[in-house]
Amino acid sequence: MDRRTFLKSATGAGLAAASGGLAMPALAQSAGKTLRFVPQANLANFDPIWGTQYVVRNAAALVWDTLYGVDSKFQPQRQMVESEEVSSDGLTWTFKLRSGLKFHDGSPVTSKDVVASLVRWSARDPMGLMLRAIQVELSPVDERTWKWVLKEPYPKMLLALAKNNSPCTFIMPERIAKTDPFTQITEYIGSGPMKFLKSDWVPGAKAVFEKFADYKPRSEKADWLAGGKNILVDRIEWVIIPDAATAAAALQSGEVDWWETPLADLVPTLRNHKDINVDIGDPLGNIGAFRMNHLFPPFNNPKVRQAVLTALNQEDYMRAVVGDDDKLWKALPGFFTPGTPLYTEQGGDMLKKRNVAEAKKLLAESGYKGEPVVCIVAQDMAATKSMGDVTAELLKSIGMKVDFVATDWGTVGARRAQKTPPDQGGWSMFHTWHAGADCVNPASYTAIRANGDKAWFGWPNVPAVETEVTNWFKAKDLAEEKAAIGRLNQAAVENVVYAPTGFYLSYQAWRKNVSGVVSGPLPFFWDVSKA
């Protein structure tokens, strides 16, 4: 019996009855004041600057606040900042913090904390690296004010400080922010709406957050990462349940309140439950992906990457991820989010029709020597596991050797950062996805960048892509932006920056006694209450 048949039969038999076997954390708090949430993955590490996993970013948004926050219209709004000024020549930005901001240890948030945090963030973030390249000075002026002096104007400064994709400008105490950006922090003190209870953290089982009594939310209505982050519960428990059937049972029985990413196969049963709401988690969806390591054989050879892309059939991936519901996915001959202003298919022919014979020809021409492809695949994430299984068959179909490494998402997050050769503990490819909200333009699209050592994991080095990123930043109007993005898409396909496996939507599900759940690129816990 295959996975989908098993899950459907299990739900049909009544998963709620099976929940008695779920080992849940002790229920010390009253039910209405504790929200129990099943995240997309285990919180195996917790440094939102060192790594870029969405599950880390989502938890970090509770603990660390940001200087600005992007709203649902992708506009940056003030968050920790009270005011900003930019000189007439666009070279000097002066910022001032809101008064009374505190860290969870009771110390005040100062401009020194901000500067240290920005220094660490800018060493890892693509937009931060752009700012570093034109920076003259980044320094405190007084306790609440700091300035950023540049060699040339950077009109997208506020977007850089507000964007929701990892790494965000999470502000940490100076002593923590001075940690090497390529070394994980070990102290988790922020000024956000909730405190992280490190003593209660059991990676693989749970993570616990407690309301921060001294948090000062903004007065504006919450909108994504902008506005007032009002927490209406005392405690949020992240309950790690990798098995989808077990998570569905826990939601049906009321042992958990909110499930971030229910498996599409289980949605019909959840929808039929009188106490459960189900909806699309994020209308901007996700772009499935696998990243190839451009540093080492075989994928340092563009012809090998092209061979893989030529053999790829996105329908195989999407049906493995979302099942039989055609409304949940679409083919994607490119890298930008469908339905958004910069979406393009220019140069995407390689992705429109699978051609195994041509793929084998390209592989032969590449001189591929039979090196094993070290394919690391997280088994505790339904999407990555499904895509990994499809990729293994794809590679074998064109004559490549596969070293399939079945592991967990936390291990993938750590291993993909290593630049050691694949046969020495490194990797050849890993599977992931990119939120559609991150892929609407190059400003916040970490995965599309191809600037070598400064690029995201895989480290592609494609000058033609970087040229068009620059052209997009310099564009004077939407027409020029679209032209640059069309050329960028073509260069990214031809050089296979990464392999897009299709566009898909995901569900979220929550108990009907929970109110305030909204759609978006991450779970927003502010204004969520539980009766």
CB 25, CB 392: distance < 8 Å = no
Instruction: Determine the Cα–Cα distance for residues 448 and 445; give it in Å rounded to an integer.
Output: 6
Instruction: Determine the Cα–Cα distance for residues 503 and 411; give it in Å rounded to an integer.
Output: 25
User: Domains plus CATH for the chain?
Assistant: 68-177 (3.90.76.10), 286-504 (3.10.105.10)
User: Per residue in 48-101, pLDDT tens?
Assistant: 999 899 999 999 999 999 999 999 999 999 999 999 999 999 999 999 999 999
**Paired residues of 36 in beta bridges:** 237
DSSP H or E segment with residue 94: strand 92-97
Confidence of residue 32 (pLDDT cuts 50, 70, 90): low
**Which among 239, 277, 261, 308 is positioned nearest to 435, based on CA atoms?**
261
Ramachandran sector of residue 399 (left: φ over 0; alpha: ψ -120 to 50; beta: rest): left
CB 295, CB 459: distance < 8 Å = yes
CB 18, CB 10: distance < 8 Å = yes
Per-chain mean pLDDT for the chain: 94
Give exposure, 501-515, as e/b (b: 16+ Cβ within 10 Å).
Answer: bbbbbbbbbbbeebe
The pLDDT assigned to 16 comes to 41
Q: Which two tokens stand for residue 475?
A: 């564009």
Q: Which two tokens stand for residue 89?
A: 């020549």
* pLDDT above 80: residue 530: yes
% of the chain with per-residue pLDDT over 90 = 93
DSSP sequence for 394-437: HHHHTT--EEEEEE-HHHHHHHTT--S-GGGT--SEEEEEEEGG
**Paired residues of 235 in beta bridges:** 34, 210
Ramachandran sector of residue 140 (left: φ over 0; alpha: ψ -120 to 50; beta: rest): beta
Instruction: Determine the Cα–Cα distance for residues 7 and 13; give it in Å rounded to an integer.
Output: 10
Burial class of 183 by CB neighbour count within 10 A (0 to 12, 13 to 18, 19+): exposed
**Paired residues of 92 in beta bridges:** 149
User: Per residue in 192-251, pLDDT tens?
Assistant: 999 999 999 999 999 999 999 999 999 999 999 999 999 999 999 999 999 999 999 999
The pLDDT assigned to 29 comes to 45
Confidence of residue 4 (pLDDT cuts 50, 70, 90): low
* Torsion of Cα atoms, 454 then 457 then 460 then 461, to 10°: 10
Question: Which residue matches tokens 């890892």?
Answer: 124
Confidence of residue 1 (pLDDT cuts 50, 70, 90): very low
The pLDDT assigned to 22 comes to 52
* pLDDT above 50: residue 355: yes
List Cα–Cα distances, 102 to 121, 189, 209, 218, 226, in angstroms: 20, 10, 17, 14, 19
Under DSSP, the state recorded for 109 is P
**Paired residues of 373 in beta bridges:** 402
Q: Are strands 429-435 and 373-378 parallel, antiparallel or unpaired?
A: parallel
Q: What is the mean pLDDT of residues 374-397?
A: 97
φ, ψ of residue 5 in degrees (nearest 5): -65, -40
Distance of alpha carbon 171 from the chain centroid: 19
The pLDDT assigned to 255 comes to 98
The pLDDT assigned to 271 comes to 97
The pLDDT assigned to 444 comes to 84
Residues present in the chain in total: 531
Q: What is the mean pLDDT of residues 25-52?
A: 82
User: Per residue in 293-339, pLDDT tens?
Assistant: 999 999 999 999 999 999 999 999 999 999 989 999 999 999 999 99
Instruction: Determine the Cα–Cα distance for residues 66 and 443; give it in Å rounded to an integer.
Output: 18
**Which among 39, 2, 41 is positioned nearest to 432, based on CA atoms?**
41
Instruction: Determine the Cα–Cα distance for residues 304 and 296; give it in Å rounded to an integer.
Output: 12
* Helix orientation angle between 382-397 and 302-311, rounded to the nearest 10 degrees: 110
Q: What is the pTM of this model?
A: 0.90
Confidence of residue 8 (pLDDT cuts 50, 70, 90): low
Instruction: Determine the Cα–Cα distance for residues 516 and 530; give it in Å rounded to an integer.
Output: 9
* pLDDT above 70: residue 28: no
* 410-411-415 Cα angle (round to 5): 125
User: Per residue in 469-504, pLDDT tens?
Assistant: 999 999 999 999 999 999 999 999 999 999 999 999
Under DSSP, the state recorded for 295 is T
Instruction: Determine the Cα–Cα distance for residues 383 and 149; give it in Å rounded to an integer.
Output: 43
105 CB neighbour count, 10 Å cutoff: 11
3-state DSSP call for residue 202? strand
* pLDDT above 60: residue 24: no
φ, ψ of residue 134 in degrees (nearest 5): -115, 15
User: Per residue in 118-171, pLDDT tens?
Assistant: 999 999 999 999 999 999 999 999 999 999 999 999 999 999 999 999 999 999
Distance of alpha carbon 363 from the chain centroid: 32
